[in-house]
Amino acid sequence: MGQQEKVATSLAGTVSEEISASLTAVDAELARRYPGDPGTRQPVHTVYVPGDVFEPGTLRSWGDQALAALDEHAPDASSFAAVLGIPEELAGPVHDRVRAKLEREPVEDLRIDFEDGYGPRPDAEEDEAAARAARLVSEAYANGTAAPYMGIRMKCMEAGVRDRGIRTTDVFLTGLIEAGGLPEGLVLTLPKVTYPEQVTAFVQLLEAFEKTHGLDAGRIGFEIQIETSQSILAADGTAAVARMIDAARGRATGLHYGTFDYSACVGVSAAYQASDHPAADHAKAVMQVAAAGTGVRVSDGSTNVLPVGPAAQVHEAWRLHYGLTRRALARAYYQGWDMHPGHLPTRYAAVYTFYREGLEPAAARLAAYVAKAGGDVMDEPATAKALSGYLLRGIDCGALDTAEVARLTGLTRADLDAFASPRRGDLTVTAP
Protein backbone atom coordinates (compact mmCIF):
# COMPACT_ATOMS: atom_id res chain seq x y z
CA MET A 1 0.00 0.00 0.00
CA GLY A 2 1.27 3.47 -0.83
CA GLN A 3 0.95 6.63 1.12
CA GLN A 4 -2.65 7.55 1.91
CA GLU A 5 -3.63 10.69 0.02
CA LYS A 6 -5.09 13.72 1.70
CA VAL A 7 -8.51 14.51 0.23
CA ALA A 8 -9.53 18.16 0.13
CA THR A 9 -12.53 19.95 -1.39
CA SER A 10 -13.32 23.60 -1.99
CA LEU A 11 -17.06 23.68 -2.57
CA ALA A 12 -19.80 23.77 0.01
CA GLY A 13 -22.17 20.82 0.06
CA THR A 14 -25.01 23.09 -0.96
CA VAL A 15 -23.46 23.52 -4.43
CA SER A 16 -24.11 19.88 -5.33
CA GLU A 17 -27.59 20.08 -3.85
CA GLU A 18 -28.39 23.22 -5.87
CA ILE A 19 -27.11 21.66 -9.09
CA SER A 20 -29.15 18.52 -8.50
CA ALA A 21 -32.23 20.60 -7.78
CA SER A 22 -31.74 22.56 -11.00
CA LEU A 23 -31.61 19.31 -13.01
CA THR A 24 -34.60 17.58 -11.40
CA ALA A 25 -36.88 18.41 -14.32
CA VAL A 26 -34.24 17.26 -16.82
CA ASP A 27 -33.78 13.98 -14.93
CA ALA A 28 -37.51 13.36 -15.10
CA GLU A 29 -37.63 14.25 -18.78
CA LEU A 30 -34.75 11.89 -19.59
CA ALA A 31 -36.49 9.06 -17.78
CA ARG A 32 -39.76 9.77 -19.60
CA ARG A 33 -38.43 10.21 -23.12
CA TYR A 34 -35.58 7.71 -23.07
CA PRO A 35 -36.51 4.66 -20.98
CA GLY A 36 -34.35 2.37 -23.15
CA ASP A 37 -35.23 -0.83 -24.97
CA PRO A 38 -38.18 -2.66 -23.38
CA GLY A 39 -36.20 -5.91 -23.30
CA THR A 40 -38.98 -7.89 -24.95
CA ARG A 41 -38.62 -10.05 -28.03
CA GLN A 42 -38.56 -8.20 -31.35
CA PRO A 43 -39.76 -10.28 -34.31
CA VAL A 44 -37.31 -10.60 -37.19
CA HIS A 45 -40.03 -9.77 -39.71
CA THR A 46 -43.63 -8.81 -40.29
CA VAL A 47 -45.77 -10.72 -42.78
CA TYR A 48 -48.90 -9.02 -44.01
CA VAL A 49 -51.93 -10.73 -45.51
CA PRO A 50 -55.03 -8.97 -46.90
CA GLY A 51 -58.02 -9.04 -44.59
CA ASP A 52 -60.14 -11.09 -46.99
CA VAL A 53 -57.34 -13.65 -47.58
CA PHE A 54 -56.43 -14.47 -43.99
CA GLU A 55 -57.64 -17.93 -42.95
CA PRO A 56 -57.17 -20.19 -39.91
CA GLY A 57 -54.48 -22.09 -41.79
CA THR A 58 -52.64 -19.09 -43.24
CA LEU A 59 -49.58 -19.34 -40.99
CA ARG A 60 -49.15 -23.07 -41.57
CA SER A 61 -49.72 -22.56 -45.29
CA TRP A 62 -46.90 -20.01 -45.45
CA GLY A 63 -44.58 -22.43 -43.70
CA ASP A 64 -45.53 -25.31 -45.98
CA GLN A 65 -45.09 -23.21 -49.11
CA ALA A 66 -41.67 -22.07 -47.89
CA LEU A 67 -40.62 -25.67 -47.22
CA ALA A 68 -41.87 -26.72 -50.65
CA ALA A 69 -39.79 -23.95 -52.24
CA LEU A 70 -36.73 -25.22 -50.42
CA ASP A 71 -37.40 -28.79 -51.50
CA GLU A 72 -37.79 -27.73 -55.12
CA HIS A 73 -35.06 -25.13 -55.52
CA ALA A 74 -32.46 -25.96 -52.80
CA PRO A 75 -33.15 -29.44 -51.42
CA ASP A 76 -30.05 -29.77 -49.24
CA ALA A 77 -27.66 -27.66 -47.20
CA SER A 78 -24.92 -27.46 -49.82
CA SER A 79 -27.21 -26.32 -52.63
CA PHE A 80 -28.91 -23.72 -50.38
CA ALA A 81 -25.55 -22.41 -49.23
CA ALA A 82 -24.25 -22.28 -52.81
CA VAL A 83 -27.19 -20.15 -53.94
CA LEU A 84 -26.79 -17.63 -51.10
CA GLY A 85 -23.03 -17.72 -50.52
CA ILE A 86 -23.31 -19.04 -46.97
CA PRO A 87 -19.88 -20.15 -45.63
CA GLU A 88 -19.34 -23.90 -45.85
CA GLU A 89 -18.94 -24.35 -42.10
CA LEU A 90 -22.36 -22.73 -41.51
CA ALA A 91 -24.23 -24.43 -44.35
CA GLY A 92 -25.50 -27.39 -42.33
CA PRO A 93 -26.43 -25.58 -39.11
CA VAL A 94 -28.20 -22.76 -40.95
CA HIS A 95 -30.08 -25.07 -43.31
CA ASP A 96 -31.22 -27.33 -40.47
CA ARG A 97 -32.35 -24.43 -38.32
CA VAL A 98 -34.21 -22.77 -41.20
CA ARG A 99 -36.15 -25.95 -41.90
CA ALA A 100 -36.90 -26.44 -38.21
CA LYS A 101 -38.11 -22.85 -37.93
CA LEU A 102 -40.42 -23.22 -40.93
CA GLU A 103 -41.89 -26.34 -39.39
CA ARG A 104 -42.24 -24.92 -35.88
CA GLU A 105 -42.88 -21.17 -36.21
CA PRO A 106 -42.83 -19.96 -39.83
CA VAL A 107 -44.17 -16.47 -39.05
CA GLU A 108 -43.12 -14.37 -36.06
CA ASP A 109 -45.36 -11.37 -36.67
CA LEU A 110 -48.52 -11.24 -38.79
CA ARG A 111 -50.42 -8.15 -39.83
CA ILE A 112 -53.90 -8.61 -41.29
CA ASP A 113 -54.10 -5.78 -43.79
CA PHE A 114 -57.07 -3.48 -44.26
CA GLU A 115 -55.08 -0.77 -46.03
CA ASP A 116 -53.25 -1.00 -49.38
CA GLY A 117 -53.35 -4.80 -49.47
CA TYR A 118 -57.11 -4.72 -48.98
CA GLY A 119 -58.22 -1.52 -50.66
CA PRO A 120 -61.60 0.23 -50.63
CA ARG A 121 -64.56 -2.07 -50.05
CA PRO A 122 -68.22 -1.58 -49.16
CA ASP A 123 -68.54 -0.79 -45.44
CA ALA A 124 -70.53 -3.92 -44.69
CA GLU A 125 -67.87 -6.08 -46.34
CA GLU A 126 -65.00 -4.50 -44.38
CA ASP A 127 -67.01 -4.67 -41.16
CA GLU A 128 -67.49 -8.39 -41.64
CA ALA A 129 -63.83 -8.94 -42.55
CA ALA A 130 -62.64 -7.04 -39.47
CA ALA A 131 -64.98 -9.00 -37.18
CA ARG A 132 -63.82 -12.24 -38.80
CA ALA A 133 -60.18 -11.26 -38.30
CA ALA A 134 -60.82 -10.68 -34.60
CA ARG A 135 -62.49 -14.08 -34.25
CA LEU A 136 -59.68 -15.91 -36.08
CA VAL A 137 -56.95 -14.15 -34.10
CA SER A 138 -58.66 -14.98 -30.81
CA GLU A 139 -59.10 -18.61 -31.86
CA ALA A 140 -55.45 -18.84 -32.91
CA TYR A 141 -54.23 -17.64 -29.53
CA ALA A 142 -56.68 -19.96 -27.77
CA ASN A 143 -55.63 -23.09 -29.67
CA GLY A 144 -51.90 -22.36 -29.80
CA THR A 145 -51.59 -21.74 -33.53
CA ALA A 146 -50.99 -17.98 -33.33
CA ALA A 147 -47.81 -16.21 -34.29
CA PRO A 148 -46.03 -14.57 -31.34
CA TYR A 149 -47.38 -11.22 -32.59
CA MET A 150 -50.58 -10.60 -34.55
CA GLY A 151 -52.79 -7.64 -35.37
CA ILE A 152 -54.12 -5.41 -38.12
CA ARG A 153 -53.04 -2.50 -40.27
CA MET A 154 -56.02 -0.22 -40.56
CA LYS A 155 -56.55 2.61 -42.99
CA CYS A 156 -54.78 5.85 -42.10
CA MET A 157 -56.00 9.02 -40.42
CA GLU A 158 -56.28 11.08 -43.61
CA ALA A 159 -59.67 12.64 -44.24
CA GLY A 160 -60.81 10.38 -47.07
CA VAL A 161 -60.44 7.11 -45.15
CA ARG A 162 -60.30 8.25 -41.50
CA ASP A 163 -63.79 7.15 -40.50
CA ARG A 164 -63.28 3.76 -42.11
CA GLY A 165 -59.96 3.26 -40.32
CA ILE A 166 -61.49 4.20 -36.97
CA ARG A 167 -64.43 1.86 -37.48
CA THR A 168 -62.27 -1.09 -38.55
CA THR A 169 -60.07 -0.60 -35.48
CA ASP A 170 -63.15 -0.48 -33.28
CA VAL A 171 -64.71 -3.58 -34.85
CA PHE A 172 -61.48 -5.55 -34.56
CA LEU A 173 -60.68 -4.58 -30.96
CA THR A 174 -64.29 -5.04 -29.85
CA GLY A 175 -64.32 -8.50 -31.41
CA LEU A 176 -61.20 -9.43 -29.45
CA ILE A 177 -62.73 -8.17 -26.21
CA GLU A 178 -65.93 -10.12 -26.76
CA ALA A 179 -63.94 -13.26 -27.61
CA GLY A 180 -62.10 -13.19 -24.31
CA GLY A 181 -59.81 -10.15 -24.23
CA LEU A 182 -56.85 -8.58 -25.94
CA PRO A 183 -53.97 -11.04 -26.52
CA GLU A 184 -50.52 -10.20 -25.21
CA GLY A 185 -49.11 -10.31 -28.74
CA LEU A 186 -51.56 -7.74 -30.14
CA VAL A 187 -50.00 -5.22 -32.53
CA LEU A 188 -51.68 -2.41 -34.47
CA THR A 189 -50.02 -0.57 -37.36
CA LEU A 190 -51.02 2.99 -38.25
CA PRO A 191 -49.99 3.71 -41.87
CA LYS A 192 -49.22 6.84 -43.89
CA VAL A 193 -48.65 9.17 -40.96
CA THR A 194 -47.78 12.68 -42.10
CA TYR A 195 -48.38 14.90 -39.07
CA PRO A 196 -47.87 14.23 -35.33
CA GLU A 197 -51.47 15.32 -34.81
CA GLN A 198 -52.59 12.15 -36.62
CA VAL A 199 -50.73 10.13 -34.00
CA THR A 200 -52.39 12.18 -31.27
CA ALA A 201 -55.77 11.43 -32.83
CA PHE A 202 -55.06 7.68 -32.85
CA VAL A 203 -54.03 7.87 -29.20
CA GLN A 204 -57.36 9.58 -28.51
CA LEU A 205 -59.15 6.68 -30.20
CA LEU A 206 -57.31 4.08 -28.11
CA GLU A 207 -57.87 6.02 -24.90
CA ALA A 208 -61.59 6.10 -25.59
CA PHE A 209 -61.65 2.35 -26.25
CA GLU A 210 -59.71 1.57 -23.07
CA LYS A 211 -62.02 3.75 -21.00
CA THR A 212 -65.11 2.15 -22.53
CA HIS A 213 -63.93 -1.36 -21.64
CA GLY A 214 -62.27 -0.58 -18.31
CA LEU A 215 -58.78 -1.44 -19.59
CA ASP A 216 -55.60 -0.13 -18.04
CA ALA A 217 -54.56 3.19 -19.53
CA GLY A 218 -51.89 2.61 -22.15
CA ARG A 219 -52.76 -1.08 -22.60
CA ILE A 220 -52.93 -0.78 -26.40
CA GLY A 221 -49.78 0.23 -28.25
CA PHE A 222 -49.19 0.67 -31.95
CA GLU A 223 -46.57 0.99 -34.66
CA ILE A 224 -46.17 4.05 -36.85
CA GLN A 225 -45.53 3.34 -40.51
CA ILE A 226 -43.24 5.90 -42.13
CA GLU A 227 -44.33 6.24 -45.75
CA THR A 228 -44.24 9.97 -46.47
CA SER A 229 -41.41 12.47 -46.71
CA GLN A 230 -43.30 14.78 -44.36
CA SER A 231 -42.93 12.23 -41.56
CA ILE A 232 -39.15 12.51 -41.84
CA LEU A 233 -38.76 16.26 -42.46
CA ALA A 234 -41.57 18.58 -41.39
CA ALA A 235 -42.35 21.87 -43.09
CA ASP A 236 -40.43 23.76 -40.39
CA GLY A 237 -37.30 21.67 -40.97
CA THR A 238 -37.60 19.55 -37.83
CA ALA A 239 -37.61 15.74 -37.71
CA ALA A 240 -41.34 15.06 -37.61
CA VAL A 241 -40.80 11.41 -36.69
CA ALA A 242 -39.33 12.45 -33.33
CA ARG A 243 -42.43 14.52 -32.63
CA MET A 244 -44.61 11.55 -33.62
CA ILE A 245 -42.94 9.37 -31.01
CA ASP A 246 -43.67 12.03 -28.41
CA ALA A 247 -47.25 12.40 -29.64
CA ALA A 248 -47.82 8.69 -29.05
CA ARG A 249 -47.46 9.29 -25.27
CA GLY A 250 -45.59 6.09 -24.64
CA ARG A 251 -47.78 3.91 -26.86
CA ALA A 252 -45.48 3.75 -29.90
CA THR A 253 -43.77 0.38 -30.15
CA GLY A 254 -42.18 0.62 -33.57
CA LEU A 255 -41.39 2.70 -36.64
CA HIS A 256 -41.85 0.73 -39.87
CA TYR A 257 -40.34 1.98 -43.11
CA GLY A 258 -42.69 1.74 -46.10
CA THR A 259 -40.36 1.11 -49.01
CA PHE A 260 -42.61 1.80 -51.96
CA ASP A 261 -44.90 4.56 -50.70
CA TYR A 262 -41.92 6.50 -49.37
CA SER A 263 -39.88 5.98 -52.54
CA ALA A 264 -42.76 7.19 -54.70
CA CYS A 265 -43.31 10.15 -52.38
CA VAL A 266 -39.78 11.45 -52.99
CA GLY A 267 -39.90 10.74 -56.72
CA VAL A 268 -37.85 7.55 -57.05
CA SER A 269 -38.65 5.76 -60.32
CA ALA A 270 -40.37 2.40 -59.94
CA ALA A 271 -37.37 0.45 -61.24
CA TYR A 272 -35.18 1.88 -58.46
CA GLN A 273 -37.55 1.64 -55.52
CA ALA A 274 -35.72 -0.57 -53.04
CA SER A 275 -34.73 -0.65 -49.38
CA ASP A 276 -31.07 0.05 -50.24
CA HIS A 277 -31.78 3.23 -52.23
CA PRO A 278 -30.02 6.33 -50.78
CA ALA A 279 -33.43 7.90 -50.09
CA ALA A 280 -34.38 4.84 -48.05
CA ASP A 281 -31.08 4.91 -46.17
CA HIS A 282 -31.61 8.56 -45.25
CA ALA A 283 -35.16 8.02 -44.02
CA LYS A 284 -34.22 5.00 -41.91
CA ALA A 285 -31.20 6.77 -40.45
CA VAL A 286 -33.44 9.61 -39.27
CA MET A 287 -35.93 7.09 -37.87
CA GLN A 288 -33.12 5.25 -36.10
CA VAL A 289 -31.72 8.35 -34.42
CA ALA A 290 -35.18 9.62 -33.45
CA ALA A 291 -36.07 6.29 -31.86
CA ALA A 292 -32.75 5.62 -30.11
CA GLY A 293 -33.24 5.18 -26.38
CA THR A 294 -37.00 5.70 -26.53
CA GLY A 295 -37.94 2.02 -26.49
CA VAL A 296 -39.42 2.38 -29.98
CA ARG A 297 -37.94 -0.11 -32.44
CA VAL A 298 -37.19 0.46 -36.12
CA SER A 299 -38.18 -1.95 -38.89
CA ASP A 300 -36.94 -2.03 -42.47
CA GLY A 301 -39.35 -2.41 -45.37
CA SER A 302 -39.70 -5.13 -47.99
CA THR A 303 -38.71 -6.14 -51.49
CA ASN A 304 -41.39 -6.67 -54.16
CA VAL A 305 -39.22 -9.09 -56.15
CA LEU A 306 -40.94 -12.41 -55.54
CA PRO A 307 -39.10 -15.77 -55.63
CA VAL A 308 -41.39 -17.44 -58.15
CA GLY A 309 -40.92 -19.08 -61.56
CA PRO A 310 -38.05 -21.26 -62.77
CA ALA A 311 -35.16 -22.13 -60.47
CA ALA A 312 -32.78 -19.49 -61.89
CA GLN A 313 -35.36 -16.76 -61.27
CA VAL A 314 -36.10 -18.00 -57.76
CA HIS A 315 -32.39 -18.13 -56.93
CA GLU A 316 -31.88 -14.58 -58.18
CA ALA A 317 -34.77 -13.31 -56.03
CA TRP A 318 -33.44 -15.26 -53.05
CA ARG A 319 -29.98 -13.73 -53.42
CA LEU A 320 -31.50 -10.25 -53.58
CA HIS A 321 -33.64 -10.79 -50.49
CA TYR A 322 -30.82 -12.45 -48.56
CA GLY A 323 -28.46 -9.59 -49.39
CA LEU A 324 -30.95 -6.89 -48.43
CA THR A 325 -31.69 -8.63 -45.14
CA ARG A 326 -28.00 -9.00 -44.29
CA ARG A 327 -27.45 -5.35 -45.18
CA ALA A 328 -30.28 -4.29 -42.88
CA LEU A 329 -28.97 -6.39 -39.99
CA ALA A 330 -25.53 -4.81 -40.26
CA ARG A 331 -27.22 -1.41 -40.00
CA ALA A 332 -29.14 -2.47 -36.86
CA TYR A 333 -32.53 -2.85 -38.54
CA TYR A 334 -33.41 -6.17 -36.95
CA GLN A 335 -36.87 -6.47 -38.46
CA GLY A 336 -38.25 -6.23 -42.00
CA TRP A 337 -41.37 -6.97 -44.01
CA ASP A 338 -41.89 -10.16 -46.05
CA MET A 339 -44.46 -10.27 -48.84
CA HIS A 340 -44.43 -13.90 -49.99
CA PRO A 341 -43.91 -17.38 -48.45
CA GLY A 342 -40.86 -17.77 -50.66
CA HIS A 343 -39.17 -14.97 -48.74
CA LEU A 344 -39.19 -16.96 -45.49
CA PRO A 345 -36.26 -19.29 -46.32
CA THR A 346 -33.96 -16.37 -47.09
CA ARG A 347 -35.23 -14.25 -44.20
CA TYR A 348 -34.26 -16.93 -41.73
CA ALA A 349 -31.10 -17.92 -43.60
CA ALA A 350 -29.84 -14.33 -43.49
CA VAL A 351 -30.80 -13.87 -39.84
CA TYR A 352 -29.34 -17.20 -38.74
CA THR A 353 -26.08 -16.72 -40.65
CA PHE A 354 -25.73 -13.25 -39.13
CA TYR A 355 -26.01 -14.57 -35.58
CA ARG A 356 -24.16 -17.85 -35.99
CA GLU A 357 -21.12 -16.36 -37.68
CA GLY A 358 -20.79 -13.84 -34.86
CA LEU A 359 -21.60 -16.18 -31.98
CA GLU A 360 -18.10 -17.18 -30.89
CA PRO A 361 -16.47 -13.72 -31.25
CA ALA A 362 -19.35 -12.04 -29.40
CA ALA A 363 -19.40 -14.67 -26.66
CA ALA A 364 -15.62 -14.47 -26.19
CA ARG A 365 -15.69 -10.66 -25.90
CA LEU A 366 -18.54 -10.75 -23.40
CA ALA A 367 -16.88 -13.48 -21.32
CA ALA A 368 -13.62 -11.51 -21.30
CA TYR A 369 -15.48 -8.37 -20.24
CA VAL A 370 -17.14 -10.21 -17.34
CA ALA A 371 -13.83 -11.76 -16.29
CA LYS A 372 -11.96 -8.46 -16.76
CA ALA A 373 -9.54 -10.49 -18.83
CA GLY A 374 -8.79 -7.81 -21.39
CA GLY A 375 -7.67 -9.11 -24.76
CA ASP A 376 -7.09 -7.30 -28.01
CA VAL A 377 -10.29 -5.22 -27.69
CA MET A 378 -11.04 -2.98 -24.70
CA ASP A 379 -14.81 -3.10 -24.25
CA GLU A 380 -16.97 -0.76 -22.20
CA PRO A 381 -20.34 -1.31 -20.49
CA ALA A 382 -22.16 -0.03 -23.58
CA THR A 383 -20.43 -2.67 -25.71
CA ALA A 384 -21.29 -5.38 -23.18
CA LYS A 385 -24.89 -4.25 -23.50
CA ALA A 386 -24.70 -4.51 -27.28
CA LEU A 387 -23.04 -7.95 -27.14
CA SER A 388 -25.72 -9.25 -24.78
CA GLY A 389 -28.46 -7.82 -26.97
CA TYR A 390 -26.93 -9.51 -30.01
CA LEU A 391 -26.89 -12.91 -28.30
CA LEU A 392 -30.41 -12.49 -26.94
CA ARG A 393 -31.79 -11.64 -30.37
CA GLY A 394 -30.10 -14.74 -31.74
CA ILE A 395 -31.67 -16.89 -29.04
CA ASP A 396 -35.14 -15.39 -29.45
CA CYS A 397 -35.36 -16.09 -33.18
CA GLY A 398 -33.91 -19.61 -33.01
CA ALA A 399 -30.50 -18.89 -34.51
CA LEU A 400 -28.77 -19.73 -31.23
CA ASP A 401 -29.48 -22.04 -28.31
CA THR A 402 -29.43 -20.85 -24.72
CA ALA A 403 -27.20 -23.77 -23.75
CA GLU A 404 -24.50 -23.03 -26.31
CA VAL A 405 -24.46 -19.35 -25.37
CA ALA A 406 -24.15 -20.28 -21.69
CA ARG A 407 -21.31 -22.67 -22.48
CA LEU A 408 -19.37 -20.02 -24.40
CA THR A 409 -20.02 -17.07 -22.07
CA GLY A 410 -20.54 -18.64 -18.66
CA LEU A 411 -23.71 -16.57 -18.38
CA THR A 412 -27.35 -17.47 -17.88
CA ARG A 413 -30.24 -15.99 -19.80
CA ALA A 414 -30.97 -13.84 -16.76
CA ASP A 415 -27.38 -12.53 -16.83
CA LEU A 416 -27.70 -11.59 -20.49
CA ASP A 417 -31.01 -9.85 -19.81
CA ALA A 418 -29.36 -7.89 -17.00
CA PHE A 419 -26.49 -6.70 -19.20
CA ALA A 420 -28.87 -5.73 -21.99
CA SER A 421 -31.32 -3.99 -19.65
CA PRO A 422 -31.17 -0.18 -19.65
CA ARG A 423 -30.35 1.93 -16.62
CA ARG A 424 -28.91 -0.93 -14.61
CA GLY A 425 -26.47 -0.34 -11.79
CA ASP A 426 -23.97 -2.86 -10.45
CA LEU A 427 -24.32 -6.32 -11.96
CA THR A 428 -23.55 -9.61 -10.30
CA VAL A 429 -23.44 -12.55 -12.71
CA THR A 430 -24.23 -16.11 -11.80
CA ALA A 431 -22.99 -19.44 -13.04
CA PRO A 432 -25.17 -21.13 -15.66
Closest CA to 253 of 213, 285, 210, 206: 206
Q: Kindly give, in sequence order, each residue whose CB lies less than 8 Å from that of residue 318, ignoring residues fewer than 6 positions away.
A: 73, 74, 83, 84, 307, 342, 345, 346
Contact 388, 419 (CB under 8 A): yes
Contact 401, 386 (CB under 8 A): no
Q: How sure is the predictor about 421, in pLDDT bands with cuts at 50, 70 and 90?
A: confident
Return the percentage of the chain with pLDDT > 70, whole number.
Answer: 95
161-167: average pLDDT: 98
CA dist., res. 305 & res. 117, Å (int): 16
Closest CA to 64 of 108, 110, 106, 109: 106
Q: Kindly tell me if the per-residue pLDDT of 428 is higher than 90.
A: no
CA dist., res. 232 & res. 238, Å (int): 8
CA dist., res. 274 & res. 302, Å (int): 8
Q: How sure is the predictor about 371, in pLDDT bands with cuts at 50, 70 and 90?
A: confident
What are the CA-CA distances from residue 258 to residues 101, 264, 265, 338, 354 (Å)?
A: 26, 10, 11, 12, 24
Segment among 56-60, 170-174, 384-388 with least mean pLDDT: 384-388
Give the full edge-to-edge strand order of the sheet including 186-190: 297-299, 252-257, 222-226, 186-190, 149-153, 109-113, 45-50, 336-338
Residue 104 exposed, middle or buried by CB count within 10 Å (0-12, 13-18, 19+): exposed
Q: Kindly tell me if the per-residue pLDDT of 379 is higher than 90.
A: no
Q: Which amino acid is at 389?
A: G
Give the model's pLDDT for residue 376: 55
pLDDT tens for each residue of 67-104: 999 999 999 999 999 999 999 999 999 999 999 999 99
Q: How sure is the predictor about 432, in pLDDT bands with cuts at 50, 70 and 90?
A: very low
CA dist., res. 432 & res. 415, Å (int): 9
Q: Kindly tell me if the per-residue pLDDT of 430 is higher than 60.
A: no
Contact 340, 58 (CB under 8 A): no
Return the percentage of the chain with pLDDT > 90, whole number.
Answer: 90
Residue 323 exposed, middle or buried by CB count within 10 Å (0-12, 13-18, 19+): middle
Average pLDDT over the chain, rounded to whole?
94
Question: Residue 47 is inside which H or E element, if any?
Answer: strand 45-50
Closest CA to 233 of 225, 242, 223: 242
96-116: average pLDDT: 98
- Three-class secondary structure of residue 161 per DSSP: coil
Give the model's pLDDT for residue 374: 52
Q: How sure is the predictor about 429, in pLDDT bands with cuts at 50, 70 and 90?
A: very low
CA dist., res. 167 & res. 388, Å (int): 42
Q: How sure is the predictor about 279, in pLDDT bands with cuts at 50, 70 and 90?
A: very high
pTM for the whole structure = 0.92
| In 179-220, alpha helices (H) | 196-213
Q: Which amino acid is at 82?
A: A
- Three-class secondary structure of residue 150 per DSSP: strand
Contact 221, 188 (CB under 8 A): yes
136-150: average pLDDT: 97
